[in-house]
Structure 1
Amino acid sequence: MASADSPGTPLTRLPGIGPRLAERLGRLGLRRVEDLPFHLPLRYEDRTRVRRVGELEPGLGALVEGTVTASEVVSGRRRRLVCRLSDGTGSLELVFFHFYANQARQLARGTRLRVFGEARPGPVTLQMVHPDWEAVSEDADPPAGGFVPVYPATEGINQPSLRRAISAALAWSGSVTEWLPAQLLVDLGLPTLTAALQRVHAPSADTDVEALLAGDDPAIQRLAYEELLAHRLSLLRLRAEQRSLAPAPILQEGKTLTRDLLTSLGFALTGAQQRVDGEVSADMGERRPMLRLVQGDVGSGKTVIAALAALRAIGSGWQAAVMAPTELLAEQHLRSFRAWLEPLGLTVGWLSGRSTAAQRRPTLEGLQAGDIPLVVGTHALFQERVVFRGLGLVVVDEQHRFGVHQRLALRNKGAGGVQPHQLVMTATPIPRTLAMTAYADLDVSVIDELPPGRTPVTTVAMPDTRRQEVVDRIRHACAAGRQAYWVCTLVEESDVLEAEAAEATASRLAEQLPELRIGLVHGRLAATAKEAVMRRFEAGEVDLLVATTVIEVGVNVPNASLMIIENPERLGLAQLHQLRGRVGRGETRSSCVLLYHGPLGETARARLGILRESNDGFRIARRDLEIRGPGEVLGTRQTGALTYRIADLLRDGHLLERVQASAPGLLNDHPEAVTALIRRWVGEGERYAQV
């Protein structure tokens, strides 16, 4: 039996696999003998029954039987062996570009053959190029080939080589070790690993291969369950390791500060905010480090929850850090926290990658001395030179833009033998199935209620041939004292190109709307320039803000009631919903115009339709998951972490409850199995980088 700590068996240990084939298999991600059994077929060739030649259709693989009526070696640009096969219902050409003299003799006229291949149109009749074949007698037994798997391949590897390698791996001792307890499989009604792999790689003639390919067969469900379980175990083990490294400070003070903030807000927290704030407060009162994700729809009030948590840390004599993925979002947080905390007598520091050394120095000194109780910043907070006197709380906004390992880097900023509590926030609603897999190392709180007075945004889709109507609509809205956004998008993710597009759009709109004050914001602007434009827009000194998607999150201008998104077909649903969330923040009825470039494909039309129908971020996120997949929904930095070999979150979401229920028992009672399962499905990195 293989050891859970075994690094794996080199492919070259299998018969027939030398260094060259092993290198080619490595391109498919197959680097160990243990990897081969989990390389599943794309489809199956049906060799269970003989078809008539006259019934063949181009593009279909089929098994046929007949007699060779002609056979000759044809010269030309490529020398080839051409045979004509007939069965009385029609004839078929068999073409071999690579053949031996002995093969030509075996395929002589009068030989009866059983042939499998894909029929293709030929000059005269259908052809099969390099089909599998065998000589048979007139009274040969019915075919016993069953369903033959066809695997994902790469250059230099043919199907017979892959089949032989996988077959050898299945027979190799330890390559398919069963790590799940037998009773668990019985309770779940799932087959053993050996039975599942046998069914997948060598289905019998009575197998429903369509169910296998669709993932509905118990064999595929067995493999998907194990893969989902391994990913969950990796994050739960990460969570346990995190909490075992060092205790966190108990942060129960700050009641006066939190009361003063709530009094100054001028509005009461929603029931959902109060519930989530209670969950956060309870976590911060424990020695066990808080690892909590707070998610909520656009405008649900997550920043207030973060501010209350920060005040509890500060009131308990510790520091807090708020980290955001972009300069613009970090700047928005800076303004919010300064507006709320400075009246309470608290200093809020700022750290950005674009800050000069002279600008950074006072903040760095203040953090180290403890004079700055709270700092807001971007990834610059990761830097080694950033030293806190006593960091008790880390708030990470839009976690999916960073990745797990970057969030964990801040744990090292703790001092005095403690690690800070971690509060992670996202305004991207995450479907439950995705949250259960992507954030298994975090407790999840959901703010599922919007503050009173928020008006639903009316969304319409219009072709860009009606651009002038949209321009007129902006003119009327601004004439009525309102403000508007015009968002430019590009296919290429390039700050330079996006900046050029935004600048060209702003110039064109300035010509069409000379009476309006137009501002411009894009990723190439200096932070001070962006800040100046945003402040003017918030103050009502800019009527129309032309921007790239940098305004996706964090911008709050209640007087803005009209959003134009150009080329929305180029963005995902969640991002469109975030952009739309910049309007509808006041009491005035707001609108969002999706100005698309036609004709739209079926998928793009469906996406824009969902936005028109719903303002519910969670419903939109579920549809986004269905359309784009988990990696794209969470963002490119997390894509690799959520690439499953077999499991499909949409198809296999029903397995997650069982995965969630069985994972703790395995962690506690079968640590060796946990290590082996993580190595099998997640790899050496365990889906995160140790830092």
Structure 2
Amino acid sequence: MAGNILKTPIDYLNGVGPERAKILQSELGIYRFEDLLNHFPFRYIDRSKYFKINEILPTSAEIQIIGKIKSRQEIGQQRGKRLVAIFQDETGEIELVWFRFTKWLKETIQNAVGKPVVIYGKPNEFNRKYSIVHPELETLENHKSSPLSLFPVYSSTEKLQKKGITNRVMQKLQLQLFQEVQRLEENLSDEIIQKFRFPKRLDAYRQIHFPKNLEELKQAENRLKFEEFFFLQLGLLVKKLNHQQKFKSFEFDSIGDHFNEFYSNYLPFELTNAQKRVVKEIRADLARPVQMNRLLQGDVGSGKTMVALLSALIAIDNGYQVAFMAPTEILAQQHYQALENYLGKMDLKIGILSGSTKTKERREILEDLATGKLEILVGTHALLEEKVVFQNLGLTLIDEQHKFGVAQRAQFLKKNKLPPHVLVMTATPIPRTLAMSLYGDLDISVLDELPPGRKSIQTVHKKDKDRLALFKFMKDEIQKGRQVYVVYPLIEESEKLDYKDLMDGFESISRAFPLPDFAVSIVHGKMKPADKDFEMQRFVKGQTQILVATTVIEVGVNVPNASVMVIESAEKFGLSQLHQLRGRVGRGAEQSYCILMTKDQLNEDAYQRISTMVRTNDGFEVAEVDMQLRGPGNLMGTQQSGVLNFKLANLTKDQKMMHTARFTAEELLKNDPQLEKIENQAIKNHFQKNYKETLIWSRIG
């Protein structure tokens, strides 16, 4: 019954009715009883503490005062009109100001003149006088009638206020709701509730809306946050189990001649321990008749391409072909060149297919692919076309996988009678908790060390006054035979933004580094692809020493001779972008530098981003700070995806609880994979009712 009552339309709640229902639906998305139940307070007022007017300090936060309204008046005309009341207690008086007010509010304040009231708000100081803007106000009688010491405050909007749905009304609606909802079905097992000492589900909801004290509030928050994490993780783990049962694949049960020949004769460097560990994980996956679905995370330069190559050789040794897909032509070309360089002396055929492949060449590639002469095909999304037919595709490698949609990735599943194994890679380090939430249905491997001999990039922060010294440093590096990137955030001047303009920058660099001693290239998004490619190639071949560019060079440019990255207006870039740009240098054996140029004054966020870059080269540490500054939704563009639509839980602040929930879900499924045991029926019922249709179920192809 409790489950059904939660589905009741909100207009049936006593005190709502059709008019209020419409505004609750449009403003807060509250359609049914359960939506109101899950409309949590965003803060609480401690009702046990009161201030006197003469105790107010410039540093005072929000405060509560008992007193009387002495007078009220409207000041100003039309748009500039404001409502001002003089409020006093036995120690003094202050102004209360409302810049937005309704007829209802005017009447409420008029009726309160001379009567004992309680006000709540944040005091402002001006000319040694205090005022409170838009205070909350209620009669002392009403205030005293509530047994709560912590007073819930709900998010509101101007429209709600205009319609008289104040915070007080919202509290009354919640109290009325608890009159209707007398019991709630449990959604956790008794074992989990007892293990973590959680309150019962209905008690948790009561305590989050109307806590008697901070301890009760904490218990309620813990229970409800745990639920959000637990059911997300359970969904991901069930999906992973289903995948393993549903998607059978090819067993690569032997390590053969190609792998051994390459490892013994052509491996260009000793593998790092991280690379050895990851190859072992992949090798174990490929030996099973279940489709591998693995995410390989590794910072720029950590050796992902070598891991991909060794995985490809395992597939080839077992008689299968390999597809290697990259999001851009530049990146596909780079992977193709790397594979050619590493495998060129071996008896293997590698091809590349992209939008610009000539018709004759394309025909030959497709023929060799269909007959099995071609072992590895590198390319862009052109690989997904129906005409691209493999004789025996066994492994798909996908680079920068977040740039491809689910439907695109799923097309590879149709390229053989059994779906090929899948290894997706990203050079964008993802914080561990976020990776577990977004990719918890994948197995995750992490390359967390750089190959030996790689020197750490030195990152420094400089300002406009240091520009002459910067130009001298660039000249010194160029004289050593090195090359320099200079990156700007904008292409054309913007009246609204005070960025360094790319064209101005190009001109000033051309003046400081004149022909014939120096040559400067320029690359930006508004150039024709052929012109962009021409300029890029000049830099790659060493014909120009400086490349002035916008962020088009963020991914997919590999010039080992480039040792300096100058980022202009660095405060305008996000942390992950700064880190990606820094990864364009440090690819050779020489010491490399990243110079962050900023204006003199930085806000707190910008300062934190710049100081993080200077402090560490570790992409995972950079990603953690990025998540704290921007929040997980913005970090991975998942704000609208529904995957991380938590009401209470916070991935940044509640990481420990996330791990606890994941471990609990894993243990549950280990002991009861089908959730058949009687003690787990509450979990199964809730899960099937509420989580079966979420995006979790269809996100990864």
TM-score above 0.5: yes
- 1:470 is matched with 470
How far off its partner does 1:218 sit?
A: 2.9
1:194 maps onto 2:196 in alignment: no
1:419 maps onto 2:419 in alignment: yes
1:223 maps onto 2:230 in alignment: no
1:511 maps onto 2:511 in alignment: yes
Alignment partners' CA distance in 1, 2:510 and 2:84: 71
Alignment partners' CA distance in 2, 1:609 and 1:145: 45
Residues 275 and 150 of structure 1, relative CA distance in 2, 3 Å threshold: same
Percent identical among aligned pairs is 36
SS at match of 2:28: coil
Alignment partners' CA distance in 2, 1:438 and 1:484: 37
Whether the aligned pair in 1 keeps the contact of 2:487 and 2:566 (CA below 8 Å) is yes
- 2:551 is matched with 549
How far off its partner does 1:542 sit?
A: 3.0
Whether the aligned pair in 1 keeps the contact of 2:293 and 2:442 (CA below 8 Å) is yes
SS at match of 1:686: helix
- 1:429 is matched with 429
What per-residue deviation string (whole Å, max 9, x for no partner) do you get for residues 411-438 of structure 1?
533421x112111222223333233222
Q: Which amino acid aligns with 1:654?
A: K
Which of the residues 656, 670, 695 maps onto 1:685?
695
Q: Which amino acid aligns with 1:251?
A: F
Q: Which amino acid aligns with 2:630?
A: R
How far off its partner does 1:540 sit?
A: 2.8
How far off its partner does 1:366 sit?
A: 5.2
Alignment partners' CA distance in 1, 2:696 and 2:123: 46
How far off its partner does 1:38 sit?
A: 2.7
How far off its partner does 1:471 sit?
A: 2.4
- 1:35 is matched with 35
- 1:98 is matched with 103
Residues 50 and 509 of structure 1, relative CA distance in 2, 3 Å threshold: closer
Name stretches of at least 5 consecutive residues in structure 1 with no aligned partner. Answer: none
Q: Out of 546-555 and 345-354, give the one that drifted further.
A: 345-354
Which of the residues 156, 159, 175 maps onto 2:159?
156
Whether the aligned pair in 1 keeps the contact of 2:256 and 2:318 (CA below 8 Å) is no
How far off its partner does 1:486 sit?
A: 1.7
Q: Out of 602-611 and 505-514, give the one that drifted further.
A: 505-514
Residues 689 and 650 of structure 1, relative CA distance in 2, 3 Å threshold: closer
SS at match of 1:18: helix
Q: Which amino acid aligns with 1:409?
A: A
Alignment partners' CA distance in 2, 1:100 and 1:541: 73
Alignment partners' CA distance in 1, 2:491 and 2:146: 52
Q: Which amino acid aligns with 1:257?
A: H
Q: Which amino acid aligns with 1:685?
A: L
Residues 596 and 13 of structure 1, relative CA distance in 2, 3 Å threshold: same
Alignment partners' CA distance in 2, 1:174 and 1:292: 46
Equivalences for 1:580-659 in 2 at 5 Å?
Answer: 580-635=582-637, 641-659=643-661
Which of the residues 190, 193, 213 maps onto 1:185?
193
Which of the residues 366, 378, 381 maps onto 2:380?
378
How far off its partner does 1:477 sit?
A: 1.3
Q: Out of 169-178 and 27-36, give the one that drifted further.
A: 169-178
Equivalences for 1:236-251 in 2 at 5 Å?
Answer: 236-251=237-252
Q: Which amino acid aligns with 1:151?
A: Y
- 2:570 is matched with 568
How far off its partner does 1:478 sit?
A: 1.4
- 1:255 is matched with 256
What per-residue deviation string (whole Å, max 9, x for no partner) do you get for residues 542-580 of structure 1?
322233333334433322222212222222333322322
How far off its partner does 1:42 sit?
A: 2.0
1:339 maps onto 2:349 in alignment: no
Alignment partners' CA distance in 2, 1:154 and 1:443: 43
Q: Which amino acid aligns with 2:342?
A: W
Q: Which amino acid aligns with 1:232?
A: Q
- 2:484 is matched with 484
Q: Out of 501-510 and 625-634, give the one that drifted further.
A: 501-510
How far off its partner does 1:202 sit?
A: 0.5
What per-residue deviation string (whole Å, max 9, x for no partner) do you get for residues 85-133 of structure 1?
6553345678985359997996576xx4343444778999957868543
Whether the aligned pair in 1 keeps the contact of 2:249 and 2:420 (CA below 8 Å) is yes
Alignment partners' CA distance in 1, 2:368 and 2:483: 39
Q: Which amino acid aligns with 2:309?
A: A
Give the RMSD, CA atoms, in angstroms.
4.3
Residues 269 and 92 of structure 1, relative CA distance in 2, 3 Å threshold: closer
Residues 505 and 493 of structure 1, relative CA distance in 2, 3 Å threshold: closer
- 2:307 is matched with 305
Equivalences for 1:44-55 in 2 at 5 Å?
Answer: 44-48=44-48, 51-52=51-52, 55=55
SS at match of 2:214: coil
Residues 127 and 334 of structure 1, relative CA distance in 2, 3 Å threshold: closer
What per-residue deviation string (whole Å, max 9, x for no partner) do you get for residues 434-458 of structure 1?
3322221122222233222111222
Alignment partners' CA distance in 2, 1:307 and 1:373: 12
SS at match of 1:178: coil
Alignment partners' CA distance in 2, 1:355 and 1:80: 68
How far off its partner does 1:591 sit?
A: 1.5
Name the count of aligned residue pairs: 674
Q: Out of 167-176 and 222-231, give the one that drifted further.
A: 167-176
Whether the aligned pair in 2 keeps the contact of 1:47 and 1:143 (CA below 8 Å) is no
Alignment partners' CA distance in 2, 1:136 and 1:681: 45
Q: Which amino acid aligns with 2:103?
A: H
- 1:266 is matched with 268
How far off its partner does 1:195 sit?
A: 2.5
Alignment partners' CA distance in 1, 2:67 and 2:603: 46
Whether the aligned pair in 2 keeps the contact of 1:625 and 1:633 (CA below 8 Å) is yes
How far off its partner does 1:305 sit?
A: 0.8
- 2:25 is matched with 25
How far off its partner does 1:66 sit?
A: 4.8
Whether the aligned pair in 1 keeps the contact of 2:72 and 2:110 (CA below 8 Å) is no
How far off its partner does 1:179 sit?
A: 0.6
What per-residue deviation string (whole Å, max 9, x for no partner) do you get for residues 593-625 of structure 1?
112233222332232222222222333332222
Whether the aligned pair in 2 keeps the contact of 1:71 and 1:107 (CA below 8 Å) is no
SS at match of 1:450: coil
SS at match of 2:238: helix
Q: Which amino acid aligns with 2:206?
A: Q
- 1:673 is matched with 683
How far off its partner does 1:463 sit?
A: 0.9
Whether the aligned pair in 2 keeps the contact of 1:503 and 1:520 (CA below 8 Å) is no
- 1:329 is matched with 331
Q: Out of 55-64 and 455-464, give the one that drifted further.
A: 55-64
Whether the aligned pair in 1 keeps the contact of 2:492 and 2:503 (CA below 8 Å) is no
Alignment partners' CA distance in 2, 1:238 and 1:193: 26
Q: Which amino acid aligns with 2:466?
A: R
Residues 381 and 166 of structure 1, relative CA distance in 2, 3 Å threshold: farther
- 2:320 is matched with 318
Q: Which amino acid aligns with 2:138?
A: W
Alignment partners' CA distance in 1, 2:423 and 2:523: 30
- 1:147 is matched with 150
Q: Out of 540-549 and 121-130, give the one that drifted further.
A: 121-130
- 1:453 is matched with 453
1:233 maps onto 2:234 in alignment: yes
- 2:284 is matched with 282
